[in-house]
Amino acid sequence: MQQNFLSYFDELERLGIILGLSRIKRFLRLLGNPQNSFNSIHIAGTNGKGSTAAMVESILRCAGYKTALYTSPHLACFNERVQVNGKKISNQELQQLVSQLRSIKEKAGLRLTFFEFTTALAFEYFKRKKADFAVIETGMGGRLDATNVLKPLVSVITNVSMEHRQYLGNTLQKIAAEKAGIIKHGIPVVTGEKNLAVLRVLGKECKRKKSKLTTAQKPYKGKIALQGSFQQTNAAMAIAVARQLQKQGMKLSEKAIRNGLAAVRFPGRFDVVQRNPIVLLDCCHNPGAVLVFAKAFRQSFKEKKALLVIGVSSDKDIRQIAKTLAPLASSVIVTNAKIRAMQPEKIKREFERNGKKAIIVKGVKNAVRKAIAAAGKNGLVLVAGSCFVAGEAMQLWQK
């Protein structure tokens, strides 16, 4: 059964990325506009949007609401992307929805991308499950992202840095403007951004749309289930969202906020999956994320160095990534995920340019096994560079 919908997803993936809202709007109309059946929180940004989304969902669930969560990409299986009350959509439910929605799509003669189709699928699933709230993460950018059909109660733009330039623009201001495209008239906006040039772009759009902009820059000092000091800023944004919802009459107690942050789960982010040796997984995949990760790594492990296992997607800035991660590594094992992988030889050259010995081991699982064996009982292994790499590695610790 699983192979049926996976093969169809593979077929849709071959269409690539086509930004725009006309196709998904038409498809959603055919479905009865399921996105209007639940309250939503819409989250965009370069980094931290998945963790922030998970925190908001956890807070709402602890407050007694029936919650839905839509994030991407997944780590081990597609089902992770579509969740209700913390439970992934089942293969049976997924197959049924794919079959029904595919029939509607083909009857209408619609040409949808993978992300457009799965976004509509998630919205329809949340409608059928009668979710009170859905926390929705954008796929790329904001203005032309398939999720930007929502009219949320709160919009969030976590931060903005240089990524996906071929789609979003080649300056920080242009990328910020694309992210700001999720801002709706009169809907409050929360951000954790500190860059003044970006804040000016967001502020200008908020002024134009008569939307209040709240900056959440004071890190939360309470208990957070997710590790890494950078999660304190993500938690501050989640709390700021909760405050906006309180102002709109939603029942969110301080206890629910605290409990939600203390219970949140979002794998693959500063995630210690093993001890003796310590194995740390992180999805940091662009220069901005790697800088934040490196700071958290130093705070947690001081001067200790890791045996680094790294694979990077083909469109990433490996020069900056290697420059930041090299000081954390004693040595480097370069590998490749099954999809979107940069040539290992290119990654190897950049780490050697930064004075690190590097070898190539094909296949993420093989590379991780080799690193664990080489690290010894008291060692530290770091697996990073891509969500796809972290996801393949994580399968070693899953049943």
Indicate the domain borders of the chain. Answer: 2-263, 271-397
**What is the pLDDT averaged over residues 220-245?**
96
- pLDDT band for 170, please (50, 70, 90 cuts): confident
Instruction: Give the angle subtended at the CA of 36 by the CAs of 260 and 106, to the nearest 5°.
Output: 115
Residue 18: predicted pLDDT? 87
Q: Kindly report the CATH number that applies to the domain delimited by 271-397.
A: 3.90.190.20
Cross-strand pairs, 191: 157, 215
Q: Is the pLDDT of residue 162 over 90?
A: no
Three-state secondary-structure class, residue 123: helix
Residue 387: predicted pLDDT? 93
Residue 388: predicted pLDDT? 94
**What is the pLDDT averaged over residues 84-97?**
97
Mean pLDDT of the chain: 95
User: Strands 189-191 and 358-360: what pairing?
Assistant: unpaired
CB 19, CB 140: distance < 8 Å? yes
For residue range 216-227, list pLDDT tens digits in order: 979 999 999 999
Q: Per-residue DSSP letters for 309-359? A: EE--BTTS-HHHHHHHHGGGEEEEEE---SSSBPPHHHHHHHHHHTT--EE
**What is the pLDDT averaged over residues 97-119?**
97
Global pTM reads 0.93
For residue range 171-181, list pLDDT tens digits in order: 889 999 999 99
**What is the pLDDT averaged over residues 89-116?**
97
Please state which of the ranges 113-122, 129-138, 158-167, 206-215 shows the lowest mean pLDDT.
158-167
Domain 2-263 part of CATH 3.40.1190.10: yes
Other Cβ atoms closer than 10 A to 329: 22
For residue range 341-377, list pLDDT tens digits in order: 999 999 999 999 999 999 999 999 999 999 999 999 9
Three-state secondary-structure class, residue 82: strand
**What is the pLDDT averaged over residues 22-50?**
97
Q: Is the pLDDT of residue 399 over 70?
A: no
Residue 100: predicted pLDDT? 97
Residues of the chain above pLDDT 90, percent: 90
Cα-only R_g, the chain: 21
Does the N-terminal peptide bond of residue 73 adopt cis geometry, omega within 30 degrees of 0?
A: yes
Residue 1: predicted pLDDT? 45
